[in-house]
Chains A and B, each alone.
Chain A
Amino acid sequence: MEALPTGAISEIFGCVSSGKTLVLQELLASASARGEFCAVVDSRDAFDPLSASRAGVDLRRLLWVRAGHRMDHAFKAADMILHAGGFGVVVLDLCDVPLRDLNRIPLSYWYRFRLAVENTPTSLIVAGDRTLVKSCARVQIEVKRERLLWRGPVFEGIDFKIVPRKARIAMANQDLRMAG
């Protein structure tokens, strides 16, 4: 999978078992392959280092921030990391967060994040079960599960497709490509 735009917020969302976590891990693996440092702000403490490693993520260059089911901590942590700078990809994982907590996120947070990443070489990726970032995201991608792959009694994987919901075509000198 190719890189998402830098200096902007990209949003990846999908239903349960849609494959969005695999998409996130492949993005992190691409960043690792480019030699970049990555950060994962894990609001639900759900990150699996083993599957990330199998996807090709360099764990030694990955900062994992476990917010312990505290949304406010997750946002504060993401803010600190964005302002520290130096990371190629920062993932704010909001999957499985209860709807009542998601509805409490002020829109101003996203504007703040957008300002923080603007004109930096960092990609901020917000992952969730539904769209959250709205107009502050330059790219919105929905991951749709086509089917679960079973080989007899063994689960082999998820067949999914990536549907761009919003993708502003970037100027010639910016990097924006998606593949499904």
Chain B
Amino acid sequence: MFACVYAPSCEQATLLALASSFSPLVEDTAPGMVIFSIVGLGRLIGTPQEIAATVARRGAEAGIHGNLSISADPDTAMLAGRHFRGITLIPPGHEAERLGTLPVHVLPAEPELIETLDRWGIRTLAELAALPELGFIARFGDAGERILRLARGETHRSLRVMTPPESYQRRIELEHPQRLLEPLLFVISSLLNELMQGLSFNRVTLKLNDVPRTLEFPVPVRDAKVILKQLQFDLEAHPPQSAILSVEVQLNPTEARTLQHGLFIPQAPAPEKLQLTLARLTALLGEGNVGSPELLDTHRPDAFVMRAFSSDASASPTQPAAIRFAFRYYRPPIAAQVRVKAERPVSVNAQQILTAAGPWRASGDWWTTAPWDREEWDVELSNGGLYRVYHTAQRWFLEGMYD
């Protein structure tokens, strides 16, 4: 048995909520109309009349004002709900009789077919239902068979059950406030294991006491342990400010990553292992100390930013310059005691300068609030090393060593 609720002025979500409160088998038939199965409600509520009364009362409480029809055939219930005001109960076997008074133009058919029926003098569903089946189908084909079945209440189709949108979200309220990390991770782990079940996700949002923290992953993750470890590092780095009363985990599903390995392709770090390793390194060394350097387009020395390292980075080969030295920085630069004679440095930190090249003057960012300018010297000291010193703001600094 099926029930149809027709309320064109009502929100579809309200209708679906009403139907879902009675049955999990709900069809989102059309705007303003839902059909749901009432099989099994006899034991809970009673006769179809009682069921209809209950549905109507609950609908009224929800502000739904429309028509309700109950029938053994969903399409019959649909037609009755759409065209009969109030509550309509159609006992099994009486569909054609009950629908008979409806005009043929209520049927979902091509206008030409309806016009043909009208010319034949067929104006009601009862008259249509009385036509010989074989001849009608031979004349009009599948469309004719469908409207004939509708008129007789014999479609006996299955509901197109609406599947609720998947929600990858779980929440648990703790009985006692939790202050320790280990038990909290145990709770989070159980939620993750329940949600993941072999699917891939690229984002996790953890809400502790409704305070969210989100982690995104550069590659889809299928292993709950990887996500749990990342969350552990995040919780250790940014611990919650109070005892935890509720835990909610929300995952964002994504398509799994497929890889075609090649025989001659150089090895690369496995993405899942790399994620974990980078998280561990960041937890050990701090943000900004792990990554790939990217040079900035400026003349300012030692200008770079740290970017996230990824094993997906495509190769960007650079043509090596014809150079015969490399540089090692002292970070931060070391304040130096430089003795100057005739405007040339002669010693650095009491070490005699054997050879000095310079000054090389450089400046920049003068249009910003942080301009810089300096005078650089390459100096060879008595210890055999070749260093770069620079003079700025009345002070000398040892910037690094050529090696």
Binding site for B on A (CB under 8 A): 15-22, 24-25, 29, 32-37, 44-68, 73, 76-77, 80-81, 83-88, 95-96, 121, 145, 148-150, 153-159
CA–CA, A45 to B281, complex, Å?
A: 15
Considering the chains assembled together, what is the distance between the CA atoms of A59 and B328 in angstroms?
16
Q: Report how many A-B pairs have Cβ atoms within 8 Å.
A: 194
Q: Counting CB contacts under 8 A, is B295 at the interface?
A: yes
Whole-angstrom distance between the alpha carbons of A97 and B320 in the complex?
29
Q: B372 at interface (Cβ–Cβ under 8 A)?
A: no
Does B265 belong to the interface (CB within 8 Å)?
yes
In the complex, A161 Cα to B293 Cα: how many Å?
30
Query: Does B140 touch A at the CB level, under 8 Å?
Result: no
Q: Which of A60, A148, A158 contacts B313 (CB 8 A)?
A: A60
Partner of B269 from the list A21, A67, A86, A157 (CB cut-off 8 Å) is A86
Query: CA A17 – CA B290 in complex, angstroms?
Result: 27
Chain B residues with CB under 8 Å of chain A are: 265-270, 273-274, 276-277, 280-281, 284-286, 289-295, 302, 304, 306, 309, 311, 313-321, 323-331, 355, 357-358, 378, 380, 383-386, 400-403
B266 lies within 8 A of A62 (CB): no
Q: How far is the CA of A71 from the CA of B265 in the complex (A)?
A: 34
Asked whether, in the complex, the Cβ of B273 is within 8 Å of the Cβ of A158, the reply is no
Asked, given contacts A68-B285, A77-B284, whether A150 binds B384 with beta carbons under 8 Å apart, the answer is no
Task: Find out whether the CB atom of B383 lies under 8 angstroms from the CB atom of A16.
Answer: yes
Question: In the bound complex, do residue B315 and residue A61 qualify as a contact, i.e. CB atoms below 8 Å apart?
Answer: yes
Q: Which residues of A contact B386 (CB under 8 A)?
A: 17, 148, 155, 158
Q: Is A18 touching B403 in the complex (CB atoms < 8 A)?
A: yes
Instruction: Look across to chain B and name the residue whose beta carbon is closest to the beta carbon of A155.
Output: B378
A46 and B328 contacting across the interface, CB-CB below 8 Å: yes
Is A16's CB under 8 angstroms from B384's CB? yes
Q: Nearest-CB distance from A28 to chain B (Å)?
A: 10
CA A85 – CA B292 in complex, angstroms? 17
Can you list 5 A-B contacts with CB-CB less than 8 angstroms, sorted by A residue number? A17-B384, A22-B323, A32-B315, A86-B311, A87-B269
Determine the chain A residues whose CB is within 8 A of the CB of B328 once the complex forms: 21, 44, 46-48, 95-96
Question: Does B403 contact A19, Cβ atoms closer than 8 Å?
Answer: yes
